[in-house]
Amino acid sequence: MAIALETTSDDQRREEIRTLLASGLETEVFPRGDSHDEVQSIIARLKQAGDDLKAKLVIAGFTDHTVEHGGIEQPCETCMYYLVHRRYCELPELDCPVEPEWSCRLWRI
**Residues that bind ligand SF4 in the complex, under the rule CB under 6 A:** 76, 79, 81-82, 89, 91, 94, 98, 102-104, 106-107
Segments in the chain forming alpha helices (H): 2-22, 36-49, 53-60
- The least CB distance from residue 1 to ligand SF4, in Å, is 27
Of 105, 108, 109, 106, whose CA–CA distance to 30 is shortest? 105
Q: Which amino acid is at 76?
A: C
- The least CB distance from residue 9 to ligand SF4, in Å, is 18
Report the residue number, 6 or 90, with the smaller CB distance to ligand SF4.
90
Phi, psi for residue 32 in degrees, rounded to 5: -70, 160
- The least CB distance from residue 3 to ligand SF4, in Å, is 21
Report the residue number, 1 or 26, with the smaller CB distance to ligand SF4.
26
- The least CB distance from residue 23 to ligand SF4, in Å, is 18
Report the residue number, 4 or 26, with the smaller CB distance to ligand SF4.
26
How far is CA 37 from its chain centroid? 19
Report the residue number, 1 or 77, with the smaller CB distance to ligand SF4.
77
| C-beta neighbour count of 41 within 10 angstroms | 13
* 54 vs 45: CA distance, rounded Å: 13
